[in-house]
């Protein structure tokens, strides 16, 4: 358990899914004070994800002024993704495919990180953490370590000289099953998270990419998914 001094504040992007929840749990276990950022962008499951965000924040007792919910509905207006554009079908799971799936929201993570960096600069956070996963995931271009490194450099050049912000991606190299295992070890509230791309609750659809990845992850971790209760 490392200790951090003065600027031990971390902005964590918390979608309400497992990866971001475990990312937050990891930063928390390292002694950071969390500031939680949630974005909603007209995706099908926006309401259910916001519910998960607040449930997780409540679980950890994060105060209101350390929660920021941002509407980036313009990503839906821009379109180009099955997550936001009703005219593009959400494809069913194909975990062997190497194509970028239709659920890719063009350059979404850069939009998220830009907001996070603005907030981090204002509240003096030294870290932004995001639960991106490269391997065992869907092959989005904005989930690669090189992208985050480039964005970190962009923050360095585009903010005040005294601002210093690192981007942390603690689960990026993990398999989904490791993420589940890590979350359970740290007591993260995985039962409050939401992964499904299609259903807005109360039950996940069980057949989309994201549901398939989650089910496989719990199975490989030899754990039971509390969301099913």
Ordered DSSP codes for 96-121:
T--SPPTT--TTHHHHHHHHHHHHHH
Distance between CA atoms of residues 207 and 123, nearest Å? 40
Q: Is 32 strand, coil or helix? A: coil
Q: How far is the CB of 162 from a copy of itself (least distance, A)?
A: 10
Q: How far is the CB of 95 from a copy of itself (least distance, A)?
A: 20
Distance between CA atoms of residues 12 and 157, nearest Å? 21
Per-residue contact track with a copy of itself, 170 to 199, x per CB under 8 A? ------------------------------
DSSP 212: H
Determine if 104 is a binding residue for a copy of itself (CB under 8 A): yes
How many binding residues for a copy of itself (CB under 8 A)? Answer: 44
Query: Residue from 100, 191, 219, 228 that binds a copy of itself (CB under 8 A)?
Result: 100
Please tell me whether the peptide bond between 141 and the residue prior to it is cis, using omega within 30 degrees of 0.
no
Q: Which helix (H) or strand (E) holds 36?
A: strand 33-40
Q: How far is the CB of 77 from a copy of itself (least distance, A)?
A: 7
* Contacting range for a copy of itself; rule: CB under 8 A; set: 14-22, 151-159, 183-191, 214-222: 151-159
Q: Which helix (H) or strand (E) holds 9?
A: strand 9-13
Distance between CA atoms of residues 50 and 41, nearest Å? 11
Determine if 79 is a binding residue for a copy of itself (CB under 8 A): yes
Determine if 161 is a binding residue for a copy of itself (CB under 8 A): yes
Per-residue contact track with a copy of itself, 8 to 47, x per CB under 8 A? ----------------------------------------
Torsional class of 224: left (φ above 0), alpha (ψ -120 to 50), beta (otherwise) = beta
Query: Residue from 49, 142, 168, 209 that binds a copy of itself (CB under 8 A)?
Result: 142
Determine if 49 is a binding residue for a copy of itself (CB under 8 A): no
DSSP 200: -
Query: Residue from 38, 44, 108, 198 that binds a copy of itself (CB under 8 A)?
Result: 108
* Contacting range for a copy of itself; rule: CB under 8 A; set: 26-34, 47-55, 144-152, 185-193: 144-152
Kindly list the distances between the CA atom of residue 208 and the CA atoms of 68, 84, 94, 193, 215, in Å, as whole numbers in the listed order.
28, 15, 9, 16, 11
CA 162 to chain centre: 27
Query: What is the contact surface with a copy of itself in residues (CB under 8 A)?
Result: 68, 70-75, 77-80, 100, 104-111, 113-115, 117-119, 121-122, 141-142, 144, 146-147, 150-151, 153-161
């Amino acid at each position: 358990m490392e200790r951090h001094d003065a600027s031990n504040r971390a902005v964590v992007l918390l979608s309400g899914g497992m990866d971001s929840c475990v990312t937050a749990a990891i930063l928390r276990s390292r002694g950071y004070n969390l500031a939680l950022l949630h974005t909603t962008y007209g995706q099908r499951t926006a309401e259910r994800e916001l519910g998960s965000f607040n449930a997780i924040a409540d679980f950890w007792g994060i105060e209101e002024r350390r929660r920021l919910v941002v509407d980036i509905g313009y990503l839906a207006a821009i379109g180009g993704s099955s997550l936001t554009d009703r005219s593009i079908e959400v494809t069913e799971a194909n975990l062997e495919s190497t194509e970028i799936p239709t659920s890719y929201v063009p350059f979404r993570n850069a939009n998220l990180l830009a907001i996070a960096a603005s907030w981090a600069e204002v509240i003096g956070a030294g870290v932004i953490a995001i639960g991106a996963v490269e391997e065992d995931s869907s092959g989005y271009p904005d989930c690669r370590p090189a992208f985050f490194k480039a964005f970190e450099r962009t923050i360095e050049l585009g903010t005040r000289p005294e601002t210093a912000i690192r981007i942390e991606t603690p689960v990026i190299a993990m398999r989904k099953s490791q993420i589940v295992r890590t979350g359970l070890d740290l007591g993260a509230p995985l039962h409050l998270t939401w992964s499904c791309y299609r259903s807005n609750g109360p039950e996940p659809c069980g057949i989309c990419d994201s549901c398939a990845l989650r089910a496989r992850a719990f199975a490989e971790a030899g754990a039971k998914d509390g969301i099913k209760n």
